[in-house]
């Protein structure tokens, strides 16, 4: 199971959960779904993962800009600046109970509960 997400500093999350590997096609598809949710100019910071630096993804950025989504790459080797990485670390190591690993069903149930409650029950306090 993989999670892609769009998170802002007020803990509003748009998440996409799917099974299978993450590649540029999957990232572009999730981004196109996210584009349908924005109604104002939006700026997005991304890391330098291979899916974010592929020719296919980079070609997609002009389409994003036409829709009001402007993408900027973070400096290499700066995961501490990527707020979605902070979120994923908290989910995996702080918020997910150990019992979630008992079965795939319990993992899915707990993961979806956490994702649904980010910004309410689960909040990141940025320093």
Give 73's strand partners. Answer: 46
Domain assignments of the chain as residue spans, ordered by start: 2-116
User: What superfamily would CATH give domain 2-116?
Assistant: Ribonuclease H-like superfamily/Ribonuclease H (3.30.420.10)
Q: What are 26's two structure tokens?
A: 């999957």
Mean pLDDT to the nearest integer, 65-83: 89
Q: Rounded distance, CA 66 to CA 96, Å?
A: 38
Q: Give Dmax (Cα) for the chain.
A: 45
* pTM (predicted TM-score): 0.84
Q: pLDDT tens digits for 99-123?
A: 998 999 999 999 999 999 999 999 9
Element (H, E) at 44: strand 42-46
């Amino acid at each position: 199971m993989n999670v892609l997400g769009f998170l802002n500093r007020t803990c509003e999350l748009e998440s996409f959960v799917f099974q299978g590997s993450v590649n540029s096609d999957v990232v572009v598809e999730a981004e196109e779904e996210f584009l349908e949710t924005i109604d104002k100019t939006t700026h997005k910071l991304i890391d330098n993962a291979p899916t974010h630096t592929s020719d296919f993804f980079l070609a997609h950025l002009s389409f994003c800009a036409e829709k009001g989504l402007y993408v900027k790459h973070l400096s290499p080797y700066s995961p501490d600046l990527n707020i979605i990485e902070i979120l994923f670390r908290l989910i995996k190591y702080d918020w997910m109970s150990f019992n979630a690993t008992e079965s795939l069903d319990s993992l899915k149930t707990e993961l979806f509960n956490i994702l649904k409650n980010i910004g309410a029950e689960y909040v990141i306090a940025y320093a």
